[in-house]
Amino acid sequence: MIEDVYNRLAGALNARSVAYPSIPCDEFYAFARELFTPEQAEIACSMPIGSATAEDLASKMKGTNVEDLRKQLEEMVNKGVVRSREKDGKRYYELLPIVPGILEFQFMHGRVDERTKRLAQLLKSYGKAMKNIMMTAPPPSAAADTSATKKVPVEEEIFDLSTILPYDEVMKLIDKTEYIAAGTCVCRHQGDLLDRPCDKPKNNLCMIFGPSAQFANSHGFVRLLSKEEARKSIDEAEKAGLVHNFANSNDKFIDLLCNCCGCHCPFLRGAARSPVPNKAFIANWIVKIDDDACTGCGACVDRCWMKALKMDGDLAVRDANRCIGCGICMYVCPTDAMKMARRETAAVTG
């Protein structure tokens, strides 16, 4: 039964990350079939956590011809569902998770063709079905070695949550990274494809850092940026009030920086509906307000996607539970009354 292999595929994808979970249902099957043929889904289910050569996989998949398998793997690479790399004269393949990875590679190229439009609609349908299912049942479990609910030092890696970075931290990331690539914002491009456009900028605002930037550029998903181009894109995002949302993976899959709007990003929208939005991310920073410097103009209140700010008389006040430490409120403060401060620990759920 074909559904069986796609059920197992859902488990294989969830073992990599449950940031965007794969939940078996008719809508998931339709989305998965657009990305993986049944043969490719079977290959994906056989791939280990981490990378393997075609020879390694062929020995595991008894009766499989190595060259036929290699052709399938290369097709999966070109589809953006598998990442490849060269090491010591050998070619290694790694199954990507849905997020960060597969989903981004389907939309970051910015194309407006029939397949991309179809994927946008399938993703929308699956998103609705997933929301309905998760309202009545817990999300699928991650693999045994993924993070569970815990209180951790803010520097510790949490693979299934992304990190909110204020402007200065993004600039440090750009400074220390050798390779940076960028493409079209996934969420806002999907919105365009579904006739639900966003007025925020979207070009060069989904960024990949590190070795995966080279891979993504070589396969036409994105283009490499100079550091100066990357800084200009972040300045554009800051001006537009976009949140710098970094996939905290240390290149386990893809180091991805999204510059997100609260109207189209599903993660920001979900967090905004929560009574404690900062638990939806690794929120290492928090805004502090200098009451003596605050003039009560209220510009920051309108800019906050999380509704973490409000006016109390002539002063802006912050709700620490709602503040995710993005710092976009600082951009419009005329008196520099708002500063970023480190949280001592981050209570996170994964």
Distance CA 306, CA 271 (A): 7
CB atoms within 10 A of CB 345: 12
Q: How much is the pLDDT for 1?
A: 59
Q: Are 240 and 260 in contact (CB under 8 A)?
A: no
Domains 2-136 and 283-348 share a fold: no
Distance CA 163, CA 161 (A): 7
Which tokens go with 295? 């003039």
* CATH match for 2-136 among 1.25.40.10, 1.10.10.10, 3.40.50.2300, 2.40.110.10: 1.10.10.10
Distances (CA, A) of 261 to 18, 92, 313: 22, 36, 29
Question: Collapsing DSSP states into helix, strand and coil, what is residue 129?
Answer: helix
Give me the helix-helix angle, 26-35 and 2-16, nearest 10°: 80
Domain segments of the chain: what residues? 2-136, 155-270, 283-348
H or E stretch including 130?
helix 114-136
Side chain identity, residue 30: A
Q: How much is the pLDDT for 134?
A: 81
Distance CA 309, CA 322 (A): 8
Question: Collapsing DSSP states into helix, strand and coil, what is residue 171?
Answer: helix
Cis previous bond, 100, omega within 30 = yes
Distance CA 10, CA 29 (A): 9
Side chain identity, residue 141: S
Q: How much is the pLDDT for 343?
A: 86
Q: Are 152 and 346 in contact (CB under 8 A)?
A: yes
User: Which single residue is written with the structure tokens 């300045």?
Assistant: 235
**CATH second-level architecture of 283-348?**
2-Layer Sandwich (3.30)
Q: Per-block average pLDDT, block size 10, for the chain (350 residues)?
A: 88 92 96 97 95 95 93 98 94 94 96 97 95 75 39 40 94 95 97 96 95 93 97 98 83 83 94 93 94 95 96 95 96 95 57
Give me the helix-helix angle, 227-240 and 167-176, nearest 10°: 170
- Enumerate long-range contacts of 238-242, CB under 8 Å, 24 or more apart: 238/167, 238/328, 238/331, 239/331, 240/200, 240/201, 241/200, 241/303, 241/305, 241/328, 241/331, 242/200, 242/201, 242/205, 242/328
Which tokens go with 98? 């849905």
Q: How much is the pLDDT for 171?
A: 97
Q: How much is the pLDDT for 226?
A: 97
User: Which single residue is written with the structure tokens 């967090």?
Assistant: 271
Which tokens go with 83? 């990442």
Q: How much is the pLDDT for 184?
A: 97
pLDDT tens for residues 178-230?
A: 999 999 999 999 999 999 999 999 999 999 999 899 999 999 999 999 999 99
